[in-house]
Amino acid sequence: MNTFGRNFRCTTFGESHGLAVGAVVDGCPPGIPLTEADIQPYLDRRRPGKSPLESGRQETDRVEILSGVFEGRTTGAPIALLVRNRDVRSKDYDALRDVFRPGHADYTWQAKYGLRDHRGGGRSSGRETLARVAAGAVAIRCLEPCGIAIRGRVLEVHTATEPEAMEAEIRAARDAGDSVGGIVEVTAAGCPAGLGDPVFGKLDAAIAGAMMGIGAVKGVELGEGFGAARLLGSEMNDQIGEAGFLSNRAGGVLGGISTGQDIVVRLAVKPTPSIRKAQQTVDIAGKGREITVEGRHDPCIAPRIVPVAECMLAMVILDAMLEQAKYREFGE
Amino acid sequence: MNTFGRNFRCTTFGESHGLAVGAVVDGCPPGIPLTEADIQPYLDRRRPGKSPLESGRQETDRVEILSGVFEGRTTGAPIALLVRNRDVRSKDYDALRDVFRPGHADYTWQAKYGLRDHRGGGRSSGRETLARVAAGAVAIRCLEPCGIAIRGRVLEVHTATEPEAMEAEIRAARDAGDSVGGIVEVTAAGCPAGLGDPVFGKLDAAIAGAMMGIGAVKGVELGEGFGAARLLGSEMNDQIGEAGFLSNRAGGVLGGISTGQDIVVRLAVKPTPSIRKAQQTVDIAGKGREITVEGRHDPCIAPRIVPVAECMLAMVILDAMLEQAKYREFGE
Amino acid sequence: MNTFGRNFRCTTFGESHGLAVGAVVDGCPPGIPLTEADIQPYLDRRRPGKSPLESGRQETDRVEILSGVFEGRTTGAPIALLVRNRDVRSKDYDALRDVFRPGHADYTWQAKYGLRDHRGGGRSSGRETLARVAAGAVAIRCLEPCGIAIRGRVLEVHTATEPEAMEAEIRAARDAGDSVGGIVEVTAAGCPAGLGDPVFGKLDAAIAGAMMGIGAVKGVELGEGFGAARLLGSEMNDQIGEAGFLSNRAGGVLGGISTGQDIVVRLAVKPTPSIRKAQQTVDIAGKGREITVEGRHDPCIAPRIVPVAECMLAMVILDAMLEQAKYREFGE
Amino acid sequence: MNTFGRNFRCTTFGESHGLAVGAVVDGCPPGIPLTEADIQPYLDRRRPGKSPLESGRQETDRVEILSGVFEGRTTGAPIALLVRNRDVRSKDYDALRDVFRPGHADYTWQAKYGLRDHRGGGRSSGRETLARVAAGAVAIRCLEPCGIAIRGRVLEVHTATEPEAMEAEIRAARDAGDSVGGIVEVTAAGCPAGLGDPVFGKLDAAIAGAMMGIGAVKGVELGEGFGAARLLGSEMNDQIGEAGFLSNRAGGVLGGISTGQDIVVRLAVKPTPSIRKAQQTVDIAGKGREITVEGRHDPCIAPRIVPVAECMLAMVILDAMLEQAKYREFGE
């Protein structure tokens, strides 16, 4: 299943070391001004190789809009977005062809499909998120005139919460041939109340599915999240004054529907599984092997997940807005 | 959107104080032995009024299979499951008709639909989960012959982790007119490797969406979950020996596909929003009000979420098994 | 797959000789006035036993709304509609338990599912359309305030086109222990231009799928239909004047999108397969058998398909209206 | 909605005079041998400019597989198929920018979206079917090892049924600045019994939707089709002998499920709406205009619809096979 969304639908394709990665956006409202320049900045933020603390893969990640835009505006037709892969060094992966890297999808992909494109993780590579970002940037463009703004940031790396300390954690891990995890927070401001569709299309359920579907994410929470388990009802409930809610412990969603407050989501990101430290594994024949994963990897993937999470959140919210718009005109 | 699942599809209906609550299960494999007696025990576990620490609403919650079963076996036709509501005391809610209870879906439901059935929370009531449990029990019945077993339990209440201490926390909250949150853990044992559908139908994404869609759940994690953010790659990765994985920090899912190990999920459950303590709120006209929520409520909803979470997990797994089965016969 | 529609979704359940037949309507706009009295007249039109030319099965087909309506208006929650079966004479079918009736779904259902509820055709019975009619009546209720009216009629029976001659054809077939086919026409007046969703959700494609999915229908056409194959472009094209289209050979749909003219659909209905005349068939073991189908059957099913076709058309149109409404508010 | 299918899903994109046309195929079984050479012959059959009786647009229509294939086999990942447009003469359409061509989607597209890419019909052009053919060729490749073969042909043009007479009709229409309609027949041989999913995913309903969704198609029928309306039950029913069905008036589908016999479908194709003869129409401001449509058009589109109909039928059948495979392993 490579399509996300019910109303604003994003279908992605492409492998890490194939010819291209891309997306088809279907259900985009017509009449929205859109050019490659609206999308490129998001791809640039996600792009590897921007700092010594990221994978050294060199990609320009230039996006081409193949369809769905006419004279600078969306037409309601599907928008195909294409990025050609450039810096493909598949030879790096020859040694890994028949070995399952711990923490990666190698073993499970093989179990599921019976064969796999092992080069750079193939379809299971983080490079696929490029396509989500391209599609999500279109969603963000649609949300702008509605006054909805989405912002993400790294909240923690390992145990550090300050930028400098976080960077130090990443550097230390890299130097040790290891990697570290972190926590990412994404917020959406300006959402109207009423988004989300009980009981199986709840906004928080859609957000949780979208976020957990990003590689390396192992947990998702809204508002107080896991902290809510340790609160009393009188502490957790957001009371309401005549000017609006008095707090936002719910994280902007009640009963699966947006309250109109900021939507606040946090993701637990596991450490990048590719590490140089020796690990025990097996090959495709089940024979024991020791592995050290060379190649170009991010010692902490949390920073590059930020734009991905923003884009997924944008798609969920736009999808919910389109859903909600359906019912405006009916009733007597 | 009141339908859950792509292959095993569950559509639920009904309000807390309406005539009935029920589900239609579509896509159930034919030939599965099924009677009401397979479903009733799950409804009984979810049923209120079993102990003084639960809502005092008295419902027998007897389920009737209306269709889809012939001579004791499923036929492949949709299975309609019906439970009539009995102990409806809608008058309890008359005072709440035009007031938004803090922490509930009252405000957001009104914002979304422009009107609502206020009696007992209407469709947003936890009573709707009865229908999910009925449908999920059918899924559990289908999984049994595959050797898949699903078990849930309350892991924490407030800060307590031992049964007695947990019960004390609940009692204390109740006596104080307050409520407490908790953490629920659900595991599935016996799943084959290969379940889950990259990149937007990943098993963990489906689980996260299913769990976050249960009322009162504010966070979901698999395996190490949020703890993974504080680990190194060398600590988090599950290494592999010739006899299989050496650990299960991933919680049974890698790259969105099951590994064949136990699937381990934890949910953060917020405190029941219905409390007797006075809270500040507004009515439908926006005028400030003080509210104390009387009626029959659970001071901690975590225990009654256990069977709901089990049933949702069963539906996600069966759905993934049906998805996976599609591709078995192709290829050369 | 027992759910129809993307936005206005109707899930049906129930077998001919089971406990009940019903539907769950999901995605109905909130605020629509609705009672059983809005639905019952459509069920009454579809009901058997109204004349000697119809099946003698005596059912009252009283519908009960179980959910989704509060104080006389829809709430946006799913609307469950239930009709209990009353006049079940399953014994009539004992002789047919292991024999495949020619022209029926007996053989194919067995091939697909490996078992079947043979009583009265089980799920493949025309009785299932009762649920579609109940759901479609809700759609018709929603379309009324939009000024959209749907009307169907029998256009031909066998070779007759006048009411009296049609009735004579049906009577003659019945008396001969045989049955006859016919043609049904359904039109929708008052639809706005712009309904239908290229390229795979076209209005005419949705209509064709909906109509061909009614049992006994073997052909569907819009406007000139098969006659268009014998026209020149200059004859077929609907030219446009300043006051609107000058003709409606397209049947109200161009490029899969409604033109604002009447939508005109015709269905080819095959003769009822249940006939008393002796036919050659096999039993479940593959052994040759001669069969004469006794029981209560309509010698021509076309008249009773009229309300079903109307209701399906109503659901398709309402679905397209909800789809179209999604995009109204966007664009700059 | 630019995605077709539930299990084998084809998403198309691209406009007639845009940069490219293409498709993303999702849900293709893994392990199927596939190269561009498997797809190209179908595109070549659909390609314009092969004879003086077709549009003179010169396109090579070379397809590029961008993803989803590794070392000559499908991997289970989405298969992106791309064809760049070459012979774009958008200036031909400058005069039509603000005028609605009769019989085309110009008026309805404008009504729906509020703006449109008018160049060559934009997204509503028959050129979009190229993408369906590319995707359908993949489906045909998957069906081959199952022994399923799909064949189409032109059955009638205007009133002619013999090849030479059909060609004469087309030539006469072209010379008169006019166009003609026709009837196309498609058959699938080798399908197993049991395909199709009651009650809203019936095989014939899916076929009807797929076929009516091809531009210019105004009617669809299976087996006896509209002729069935003029038969008696004793004539229409396919009796069954110990060696199988004794006839195939049903066209291979009973109760929405395949019988194992040939599936036989016929489509009514309207005359190409682009004609040189003067027609009355209006412009975007509603002002009356006379129009003669110049440019490169097929005087009869039926022959070029043949491969499109074959490919759509292949996708429907493969989709139904994947659906059916889901349930093979369950039951006890």
pLDDT of residue D198: 96
pLDDT of residue D331: 47
In this predicted structure, the answer to whether residue C331 has a pLDDT above a threshold of 80 is no
Distance CA(C219)–CA(D272), nearest Å, equals 22
* More confident: D68 or C47: D68
Q: Which of residues 169-208 of B touch A (CB under 8 A)?
A: 173, 178-183, 193-202, 204-208
* More confident: C121 or D43: D43
Cβ–Cβ gap D31/B76 under 8 Å: no
Write out chain D residues lying below 8 Å of B328, CB-based.
325, 328-329
Token pair in block for residue D50? 């092969």
Best CA proximity match to C193, nearest among C265, C266, C255 = C255
pLDDT of residue B330: 64
A100 neighbors A281 (Cβ within 8 angstroms): yes
In one-letter notation, the amino acid at residue B62 is R
B252 neighbors B258 (Cβ within 8 angstroms): yes
Choice among C210-214, C291-295, D207-211 with the minimum mean pLDDT:
C291-295
Q: Which residue of C has its CA nearest to A327?
A: C29
Cβ–Cβ gap C103/D233 under 8 Å: yes
B12 neighbors B128 (Cβ within 8 angstroms): yes
Distance CA(B150)–CA(B139), nearest Å, equals 11
Nearest-Cα distance to chain B for C30, in Å, is 6
Percent of chain B with pLDDT over 70: 99
Cβ–Cβ gap B67/C116 under 8 Å: no
Q: Beta-carbon neighbour count of residue B86 at 10 Å?
A: 11
Distance CA(C168)–CA(C53), nearest Å, equals 10
Name the CATH code of domain A3-325 (choices 3.40.640.10, 1.10.3660.10, 3.40.190.10, 3.60.150.10). Answer: 3.60.150.10
SS (H, E, C) chain A: CCEECCCCEEEEEECCCCCEEEEEEECCCCCCECCHHHHHHHHHHHCCCCCCCCCCCCCCCCCEECCCEECCEECCCCEEEEEECCCCCHHHHHHHCCECCCCCCHHHHHHHHCCCCCHHHHHHCHHHHHHHHHHHHHHHHHHHHHCCEEEEEEEEECCECCHHHHHHHHHHHHHCCCCECEEEEEEEECCCCCCCECCCECHHHHHHHHHHCCCCEEEEEECCHHHHHHCEHHHHCCCEECCEECCCCCCCEECCEECCCCEEEEEEECCCCCCCCCEEEEECCCCEEEECCCCCCCCCCHHHHHHHHHHHHHHHHHHHHHHHHCCCCCCC
What separation, in Å, do the N-terminal and C-terminal C-alpha atoms of chain B show?
Answer: 39
Q: Write out the H or E segment, with its range, that includes residue D113.
A: helix D106-113
Best CA proximity match to D273, nearest among C239, A141, B160, B318 = C239
Distance CA(D131)–CA(D117), nearest Å, equals 18
Q: Which residue of D has its CA nearest to B198?
A: D77
DSSP state of C191: P
Write out chain C residues lying below 8 Å of A33, CB-based.
332
| pLDDT tens profile B238-280 | 999 999 999 999 999 999 999 999 999 999 999 999 999 999 9
pLDDT of residue C330: 64
In one-letter notation, the amino acid at residue C86 is R
pLDDT of residue D144: 96
Distance CA(C95)–CA(B298), nearest Å, equals 55
D49 neighbors D298 (Cβ within 8 angstroms): no
Q: Which residue of A has its CA nearest to B212?
A: A205
Token pair in block for residue C98? 């292991």
Percent of chain C with pLDDT over 90: 86
Indicate the length of chain A as a whole number. 332
pLDDT of residue B332: 41
Average pLDDT in the B212-240 region?
Answer: 98
Cβ–Cβ gap C322/A326 under 8 Å: yes
Write out chain A residues lying below 8 Å of D113, CB-based.
30-31, 75-76
In this predicted structure, the answer to whether residue C54 has a pLDDT above a threshold of 90 is no
Nearest-Cα distance to chain B for A61, in Å, is 20
Write out chain B residues lying below 8 Å of C72, CB-based.
none
pLDDT of residue A329: 65
| pLDDT tens profile D60-115 | 999 999 999 999 999 999 999 999 998 777 777 788 889 999 999 999 999 999 99
Cβ–Cβ gap A218/B221 under 8 Å: yes
Average pLDDT in the B283-309 region?
Answer: 93
Annotated ligand binding at B46? The verdict is yes
Q: Beta-carbon neighbour count of residue B277 at 10 Å?
A: 15
Q: Which residues pair with B69 in a beta bridge?
A: B74
Cβ–Cβ gap B322/D327 under 8 Å: yes
Cβ–Cβ gap B80/C27 under 8 Å: no
In this predicted structure, the answer to whether residue A225 has a pLDDT above a threshold of 60 is yes
A6 contacts chain D (CB < 8 A): no
A221: helix, coil or strand? strand
Nearest-Cα distance to chain A for B295, in Å, is 16
pLDDT of residue C92: 74
C23 contacts chain D (CB < 8 A): no
Question: Which residues 6+ apart lie within 8 Å of D94 measured at CB?
Answer: none
Average pLDDT in the C295-323 region?
Answer: 95
Decide: residue C241, CB within 10 A, 0-12 exposed, 13-18 middle, 19+ buried.
Answer: exposed
Token pair in block for residue D2? 């630019």
B112 contacts chain C (CB < 8 A): yes
Q: Which residue of D has its CA nearest to B145?
A: D332
Q: Which residue of C has its CA nearest to B77?
A: C123
Q: Which residue of B has its CA nearest to A245?
A: B281
Distance CA(C149)–CA(C163), nearest Å, equals 23
Choice among A32-41, A295-304, C30-39, C73-82 with the minimum mean pLDDT:
A295-304
Write out chain C residues lying below 8 Å of D237, CB-based.
102-103, 271, 273, 275, 279
A147 contacts chain C (CB < 8 A): no
Write out chain D residues lying below 8 Å of B29, CB-based.
326-327, 330-331
| pLDDT tens profile D263-297 | 999 999 999 999 999 999 999 999 999 999 887 78
Average pLDDT in the D204-222 region?
Answer: 98
Across the interface, which of C67, C68, C114 has its CB nearest the CB of B31? Answer: C114
pLDDT of residue D120: 85
B60 contacts chain C (CB < 8 A): no
Cβ–Cβ gap A330/C142 under 8 Å: yes
In this predicted structure, the answer to whether residue D332 has a pLDDT above a threshold of 50 is no
At C332, the pLDDT band (50, 70, 90 cuts) reads: very low
Distance CA(D171)–CA(D159), nearest Å, equals 14
Write out chain B residues lying below 8 Å of D325, CB-based.
325-330
Annotated ligand binding at B292? The verdict is no
pLDDT of residue D330: 63
Token pair in block for residue B221? 């994690």
Average pLDDT in the C20-42 region?
Answer: 97
Percent of chain D with pLDDT over 90: 86
Distance CA(A266)–CA(A222), nearest Å, equals 6
Choice among A119-128, C305-314, D189-198, D225-234 with the minimum mean pLDDT:
A119-128
Average pLDDT in the C224-232 region?
Answer: 98
DSSP state of D202: -
C332 neighbors C21 (Cβ within 8 angstroms): no
Task: Please list the helix, strand and coil fractions of chain B in percent, rounded to the nearest 5, in that order.
Answer: 35, 25, 40
At B121, the pLDDT band (50, 70, 90 cuts) reads: confident
Cβ–Cβ gap D30/A115 under 8 Å: yes
Question: Which residues 6+ apart lie within 8 Å of C51 measured at CB?
Answer: none
At A270, the pLDDT band (50, 70, 90 cuts) reads: very high
D181 neighbors D300 (Cβ within 8 angstroms): yes
Annotated ligand binding at C132? The verdict is no
DSSP state of B320: H
- Mean of all residue pLDDT scores within chain A: 94
B252 contacts chain A (CB < 8 A): no
Distance CA(A269)–CA(B97), nearest Å, equals 43
Write out chain D residues lying below 8 Å of A13, CB-based.
24, 66-68, 77-80
DSSP codes, B45-95: HH-S-SSTTS---------EE-SSEETTEE-SS-EEEEEE-----GGGGGG
Q: Which chains touch A (3 or more CB pairs under 8 A)?
A: B, C, D
Instruction: List the single best residue of A12, A234, A301 to mutate versus B (max B Cβ within 10 A).
Output: A234
* CA B151, B157, B159, B163 torsion-angle sign: negative
Q: Which of residues 116-145 of C touch D (CB under 8 A)?
A: 123-124, 128
D100 contacts chain C (CB < 8 A): yes
In one-letter notation, the amino acid at residue C121 is G
| pLDDT tens profile B22-37 | 999 999 999 999 999 9
Backbone φ and ψ for B264, nearest 5 degrees, come out as -125, 120
Annotated ligand binding at C270? The verdict is yes
| pLDDT tens profile C253-306 | 999 999 999 999 999 999 999 999 999 999 999 999 999 988 778 999 999 999
Across the interface, which of A13, A22, A26 has its CB nearest the CB of D3? Answer: A26
Q: Which chains touch D (3 or more CB pairs under 8 A)?
A: A, B, C
| pLDDT tens profile A171-207 | 999 999 999 999 999 999 999 999 999 999 999 999 9
Cβ–Cβ gap C332/A145 under 8 Å: yes
Cβ–Cβ gap C221/D223 under 8 Å: no
D316 neighbors D203 (Cβ within 8 angstroms): yes
| pLDDT tens profile B45-98 | 998 888 888 887 788 999 999 999 999 999 999 999 999 998 777 777 788 889
| pLDDT tens profile D292-327 | 988 778 999 999 999 999 999 999 999 999 999 998
Distance CA(C90)–CA(A202), nearest Å, equals 43
Q: Write out the H or E segment, with its range, that includes residue D241.
A: strand D240-241
Residue B32 CA neighbour count, 13 Å, CB half: 27
In one-letter notation, the amino acid at residue C247 is S
B78 contacts chain C (CB < 8 A): yes
Nearest-Cα distance to chain B for A49, in Å, is 21
Radius of gyration, CA atoms only, chain D: 21
Nearest-Cα distance to chain D for B12, in Å, is 19
Question: Which residues 6+ apart lie within 8 Å of B51 measured at CB?
Answer: none
Token pair in block for residue C194? 């712009």
